[in-house]
């Protein structure tokens, strides 16, 4: 009898674990609540209005890019070039608006930055969808190429003379709320509308779930994949426009490591690396969790070691998310 009760308890725990892994947003929300409670009990300043605001502003560009990378993964592909894209976009924008360089009007520089982002995304998409090169190879090559291009553009120099109109994108406020958060909210709203209210959203999920069936149903797989890469390029440009002005300086190191952080947020948020599965709410929770962890490491006063711990934790979370996908696939009803 006791053995039967133990078996039922174990079975109950397994069902609960499977449920939380399947509904990742719920599990992450509970974990974030637990983490917040523990850290705030150690250091009450963690829940101060200023710190929560800083966390949100820090998360904004990551959240914006994650909305694009999420759709790439849902479509069955991957993009690890977004960090290097940020580098090129930041360098080119800095040169365009710098008083000592091109001195283009800010609105022209903003438009060109968005177009460059879309162009880089389209280039990735063309190679993946129409040439047939695996996305991991394409974006890995772009990661290296664009990082080198950033170094060439910057030539070891820094750009500090950004005009006030550009600085406002990262430091300005509307109704006492940072403009970067308004921008993030707009991106989230558009992405949610795209996923739930448009045919392209349903086609992206169908493509990632079963490409062969989607193609037999008459869907243009190539066009869908081209779109998700272009969308990611656009959102990377938007993220660059709201993040670079916060730094007040443009250098060749901007965007380094962003691709790993974004992929971590997306897969931890429940987007399957196999495609066809993922929710925006889960991704949002993933971004919140990873940003909070970075802040927690600072609050623990680890100094320069905080960066090393952050990278190690990101790797562990990616591995954990992949194992979670494997668990779910083996416990489907």
Domain assignment present for residue 18? The answer is no
Residue 66 CA to residue 322 CA, distance in Å, equals 17
Domain assignment present for residue 15? The answer is no
Domain assignment present for residue 48? The answer is yes
Query: Domain containing 46: what range?
Result: 24-327
What's the domain count of the chain? Answer: 1
Q: Is the dihedral of CA 208, 210, 211, 216 positive or negative?
A: negative
Would you call 77 helix, strand, or coil by DSSP? coil
Q: What is the CATH number of the domain that holds 319?
A: 1.10.3470
Q: Environment class of residue 319 by beta-carbon count within 10 Å: exposed (0-12), middle (13-18) or buried (19+)?
A: exposed
Residue 286 CA to residue 19 CA, distance in Å, equals 17
State if pTM tops 0.75. Answer: yes
Domain assignment present for residue 12? The answer is no
User: What pLDDT tens digit does each residue of the chain (333 aa) get?
Assistant: 455 555 666 666 666 666 666 667 788 888 889 988 988 888 888 888 899 999 999 999 999 999 999 999 999 999 999 999 999 999 999 999 987 777 899 999 999 999 999 999 999 999 999 999 999 999 999 999 999 999 999 988 888 888 888 999 988 999 999 999 999 999 999 999 999 999 999 999 999 999 999 999 999 999 999 999 999 999 999 999 999 988 878 998 999 989 999 999 999 998 988 899 899 999 999 999 999 888 888 777 766 677 777 778 878 888 887 787 776 666 655
Domain assignment present for residue 174? The answer is yes
Residue 67 CA to residue 84 CA, distance in Å, equals 17
């Amino acid at each position: 009898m006791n053995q039967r009760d133990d078996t039922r308890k174990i079975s109950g725990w397994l069902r609960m674990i499977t449920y939380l892994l399947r509904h990742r947003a719920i599990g992450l929300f509970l974990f974030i609540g637990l983490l917040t409670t523990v850290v705030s009990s150690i250091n009450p300043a963690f829940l101060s209005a200023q710190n929560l605001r800083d966390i949100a502003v820090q998360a904004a560009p990551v959240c914006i890019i994650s909305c694009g990378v999420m759709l790439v993964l849902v479509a069955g592909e991957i993009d690890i070039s977004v960090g290097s894209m940020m580098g090129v976009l930041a360098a080119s924008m800095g040169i365009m608006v710098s008083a000592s360089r091109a001195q283009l009007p800010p609105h022209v520089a903003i438009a060109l930055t968005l177009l460059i982002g879309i162009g880089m995304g389209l280039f990735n998409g063309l190679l993946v969808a129409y040439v047939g090169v695996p996305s991991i190879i394409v974006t890995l090559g772009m990661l290296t190429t664009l990082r080198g291009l950033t170094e060439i553009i910057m030539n070891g120099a820094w750009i500090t003379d950004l005009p006030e109109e550009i600085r406002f994108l990262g430091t300005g406020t509307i109704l006492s709320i940072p403009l970067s958060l308004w921008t993030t909210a707009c991106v989230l709203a558009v992405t949610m509308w795209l996923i739930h209210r448009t045919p392209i959203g349903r086609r992206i999920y169908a493509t990632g779930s079963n490409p062969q069936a989607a193609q037999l149903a008459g869907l243009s797989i190539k066009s869908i994949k081209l779109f998700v890469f272009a969308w990611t390029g656009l959102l990377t440009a938007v993220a660059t426009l709201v993040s670079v002005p916060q730094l007040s300086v443009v250098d060749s190191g901007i965007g380094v490591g962003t691709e790993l952080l974004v992929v971590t947020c997306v897969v931890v948020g429940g987007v399957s690396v196999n495609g066809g599965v993922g929710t925006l709410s889960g991704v949002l929770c993933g971004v919140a969790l990873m940003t909070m962890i970075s802040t927690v490491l600072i609050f623990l006063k680890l100094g320069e070691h905080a960066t090393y711990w952050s990278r190690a934790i990101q790797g562990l979370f990616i591995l954990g998310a992949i194992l979670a996908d494997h668990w779910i696939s083996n416990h489907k009803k």
